[in-house]
Amino acid sequence: MHNLRADPVRLWDTLMTTAAIGGTVKGGICRLTLTDHDRKVRAWLQAQAEAAGCTVTRDDMGVMFARRPGRRADVPPIGIGSHMDTQPTGGKFDGNLGVLAALEVLRTLDAAGYETFAPIELVNWTNEEGARFSPPMLASGVFAGVFARDWACERTDTEGVSFGAALEAIGERGGEVCGQHPLSAFFELHIEQGPILEAEGLDIGAVTGVQGMRWFEVTVTGQEAHTGATPMHLRKNALLGAARLVEKVEAIARAHAPLAVATVGSMRVKPNSPNVVPGEVFLTVDLRHPEAVVLEAMGAELDAALGAACEPLGLSVASTKIWDQPPVVFDSQCVAAVRGAAEACGLKVRDMVSGAGHDAAYVSRVAPTAMVFVPCQGGVSHNEAEFSTQEQCGAGAQVLLQAVLEYDRRLAEQAR
């Protein structure tokens, strides 16, 4: 099986081809989930997978499965993949590399006529980014039983369109119930989205888990007033309270350095007029840490910070936790398969914890799971400038191929 070689040039061509679907003038991609661009890239993916001898199906959250048969049809498939939706100003590699490398694995196996023991299945998850429908990893969350499907389908975008309506509109709702699709294992290739591998001159990250994350939606309420006629000491400026809260969120992360991160990433001001004191501000808070006990402490500190920032200004504040992902530890055998594959390929590898969330984190609740990281230039991601080289992408695809074949070999041995 070590003679099988993924084709980095062919993989690169697919990355560049699909980047044109929703491509931006700055060289990135704007391909929000369940939009027409998403529909087009899904149709392209289905055609390519079918040409590689796969059968393509969808579940009722729009998750795509492209199955290549194995010797044993009664054994659940080994899943490989990621997502193809992007941020509004996303790059070419986040998510896309994982799906297209999975396609490259299927093409490599097909070209060689190689028969695996278990079926191998490309998976394209829906709404990983959460850029259109919050929270992120929505479909994989339903798949793992974290979210109820009805609740997920009721999520709305900024225009008031629900996930369920958008799914129907582009014709991507399948007949299989999401979550009733067993997997023997799942492997996800992804760019690191951070600077560690590049800084240490390494080729591959064998991802042992994902740090814990909590998202909050916060509304600060004051009173709208005329900016020229209202004295400073009589104002109830919601934006001032929000600004002080932003500083407190920054302080929470720094108090738990170096592993903690905390971000206010989105803010909406009402009425957003130059000569009106802001009466309401909506903002999001993102807290992350690899240890559950520290993440819990950060959440408690955020609760205290809400009142400390707003009450002295005569403001009211309300907070809702909309996402709570505990720290994730991946399956040791799957991680070993990734590590061993990298070493067998002569690549420099290290174990690492993911700072970003991924579909694999939820899938790990229902199937043995691991991830493969490759470097990205400057650690930049969620940005049109996001970049990994052809060689780095090809190395990731080769490690993915070898890890899957190694895990497949173990499944065959267990069956014997």
Q: What are the two backbone dihedrals, phi and then psi, of residue 263, each rounded to the nearest 5 degrees?
A: -145, 135
Cα–Cα separations (whole angstroms), residue 145 to 178, 183, 313: 9, 14, 42
What is the third-level CATH fold of 8-211+327-415?
Answer: Aminopeptidase (3.40.630)
User: Looking only at Cα atoms, what is the longest distance across the chain?
Assistant: 83
Q: Decide if pLDDT at 2 tops 90.
A: no
Q: Decide if pLDDT at 73 tops 60.
A: yes
Q: What is the DSSP letter of 211?
A: -
Average pLDDT over the chain, rounded to whole?
97
* CATH number corresponding to 212-325: 3.30.70.360
Q: H helices of 21-81, where?
A: 36-51
Separation CA 165–CA 169 (nearest Å): 6
Question: Contact, 178 vs 139, CB < 8 A?
Answer: yes
pLDDT band at residue 200 using 50, 70 and 90 as cut-offs:
very high
Identify the helix (H) or strand (E) that includes residue 286: strand 280-289
118-150 pLDDT, tens digit each: 999 999 999 999 999 998 999 999 999 999 999
pLDDT band at residue 3 using 50, 70 and 90 as cut-offs:
confident
240-293 pLDDT, tens digit each: 999 999 999 999 999 999 999 999 999 999 999 999 999 999 999 999 999 999
How many residues would you count in the chain?
416
Identify the helix (H) or strand (E) that includes residue 354: strand 349-354
Mean pLDDT of 387-392: 98
User: Domain locations in the chain?
Assistant: 8-211+327-415, 212-325
